[in-house]
C-alpha cells in the first residue's frame, strides 16, 4: 500500500491543479513522493468524477481505475535504464535520445517512445509524459523534447522529476513551472504507518526523514538498519570480528538501502569521523561499480572504517 499523495502533498497538488501550462518540474529528495505526486497530477487531468479536497482524482471513474491498475493509456513514464544489456548495473544513468525518437533507439531499450506516444489522441482528456529522472536527460534527448514541450500535440502535459533542480538542463528548467516536493512531517509518516496497520517505529520514522517512499520498502529498510547496526558494532570488537561482519554484510548487501543505513548508524559520530567513513563508503561503492572483488572490497572497507573511528589499534 502506497500512501496517498493528497495526505503527503495536498497543497502542492492544489498548486499543480491551478497550472494550465505544458510542463511542470517537481524537485525534492529521493523517495519524498515526487512520482506519486506526478501520477496523482496525471490522474487529476483525466478524472471525470468528483475531485478530492486538493483536486486529486475521484478514484472511481474509468480513468482513475485505469491509473490504479497501472495501465493508463494516456500516461507514459520515461526513466533511465539501471541495467546494461548484459544485466549488470549501469555505471552511468542516462535517458538517451532513443527514449524520445524510435529511430534513434538502436538497442530497442524503450518499448514506447515519447514522440510516437504523443501522436495518438488521448483516450480520456490529456496525455501525460512523466520524466522520472530529468537530471539524467542527455543534451540530445533534451533538445529532442523541447519542440514537444513548447508545442505538445493534443495539449499534452510533461511532468519532469528531479532530486536537484540545479542538475536539470537550463533548457528544461526555463520551459517548466517549478514546484518543490518537501518531506512530510514525522507525524504524517507515523500516521502512514498506522494506515499500513503497523505500530510506530521511531527508528524507521527517523530514517525516513519525511520521505514517504521509504515506507514502501520498510521491511528492506529495517533489515538494512539492523545489518548496519550489527556491522558498526562489530568494528569495535576486534579485527577478526570486524572482517567476519564485513563478510556477512557483503552477502546481504543492498545497494539501495545499506549505504544510507550505514550513514544513519554513524549519525552520532563526530563530523571528522563521519567524513572519513563517508570517504570509505564511497570507495567501496566505486569498487563494486567497477566489478572489483566484493570480498576484498568489503574487507578493505572494514579496515578503513576501523581507522576512521580510531579502532585500528
CA atoms within 13 A on the CB side of 219: 1
Residues 6+ apart with CB under 8 A from 210: 32, 182, 183, 184, 185, 186, 188, 189
> Helices 218-235 & 239-252, crossing angle to 10 degrees?
160
Could you tell me if 198 and 263 lie in one domain?
Answer: no
In a domain, 78, yes or no: yes
Range of 204's domain?
A: 185-210
Q: What is the DSSP letter of 130?
A: E
Could you tell me if 14 and 140 lie in one domain?
Answer: yes
Could you tell me if 148 and 258 lie in one domain?
Answer: no
pLDDT for position 82? 62
Could you tell me if 292 and 146 lie in one domain?
Answer: no
Could you tell me if 195 and 248 lie in one domain?
Answer: no
User: Is pTM, for the whole model, over 0.85?
Assistant: no
pLDDT for position 250? 97
pLDDT for position 76? 97
Number of structural domains (the chain) is 3
The cell for 264 is 544513519
pLDDT, tens digit (0-9, with 9 covering 90-100), for 133-192: 999 998 899 999 998 999 999 999 999 999 999 999 999 999 999 999 999 999 989 988
CA nearest 280: which of 293, 261, 299, 295?
A: 299
pLDDT for position 107? 76
User: Which residues in the chain land under pLDDT 50?
Assistant: none
Q: What is the dihedral of CA 39, 45, 47, 52, to 10 degrees?
A: 80
pLDDT for position 283? 96
In a domain, 313, yes or no: no
pLDDT for position 156? 95
| CATH number of the domain where residue 27 is located | 3.40.50.300
Could you tell me if 156 and 177 lie in one domain?
Answer: yes
Could you tell me if 12 and 41 lie in one domain?
Answer: yes
Name residue, grid cell 544513468: 93
Amino acid at each position: 500500500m502506497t500512501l496517498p499523495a493528497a495526505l503527503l502533498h495536498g497543497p502542492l497538488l492544489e498548486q499543480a491543479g491551478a497550472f494550465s501550462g505544458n510542463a511542470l518540474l517537481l524537485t525534492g529528495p529521493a523517495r519524498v513522493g515526487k512520482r506519486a505526486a506526478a501520477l496523482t497530477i496525471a490522474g487529476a487531468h483525466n478524472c471525470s468524477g468528483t475531485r478530492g479536497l486538493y483536486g486529486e482524482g475521484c478514484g472511481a471513474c474509468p480513468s482513475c481505475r485505469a491509473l490504479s491498475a497501472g495501465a493508463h493509456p494516456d500516461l507514459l513514464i520515461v526513466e533511465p535504464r539501471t541495467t546494461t544489456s548484459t544485466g549488470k548495473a549501469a555505471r552511468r544513468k542516462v535517458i538517451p535520445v532513443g527514449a524520445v525518437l524510435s529511430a534513434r533507439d538502436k538497442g530497442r531499450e524503450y518499448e514506447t517512445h515519447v514522440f510516437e506516444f504523443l501522436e495518438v489522441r488521448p483516450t480520456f482528456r490529456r496525455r501525460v509524459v512523466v520524466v522520472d529522472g530529468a537530471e539524467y536527460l542527455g543534451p540530445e534527448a533534451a533538445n529532442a523534447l523541447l519542440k514537444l514541450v513548447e508545442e505538445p500535440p493534443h495539449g499534452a502535459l510533461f511532468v519532469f522529476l528531479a532530486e536537484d533542480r540545479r542538475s536539470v538542463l537550463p533548457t528544461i528548467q526555463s520551459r517548466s513551472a517549478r514546484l518543490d516536493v518537501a518531506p512530510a512531517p514525522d507525524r504524517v509518516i507515523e500516521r502512514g504507518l498506522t494506515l499500513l496497520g503497523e505500530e510506530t517505529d521511531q527508528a524507521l520514522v527517523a530514517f525516513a526523514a519525511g520521505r514517504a517512499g521509504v515506507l514502501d520498502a520498510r521491511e528492506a529498510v529495517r533489515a538494512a538498519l539492523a545489518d548496519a547496526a550489527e556491522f558498526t558494532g562489530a568494528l569495535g570488537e576486534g579485527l577478526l570480528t570486524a572482517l567476519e561482519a564485513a563478510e556477512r554484510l557483503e552477502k546481504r548487501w543492498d545497494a539501495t538501502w545499506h549505504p544510507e543505513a550505514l550513514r544513519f548508524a554513524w549519525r552520532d559520530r563526530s563530523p571528522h569521523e563521519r567524513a572519513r567513513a563517508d570517504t570509505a563508503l564511497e570507495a567501496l561503492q566505486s569498487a563494486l561499480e567497477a566489478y572489483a572483488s566484493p570480498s576484498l572490497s568489503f574487507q578493505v572497507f572494514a579496515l578503513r572504517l576501523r581507522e576512521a573511528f580510531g579502532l585500528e589499534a
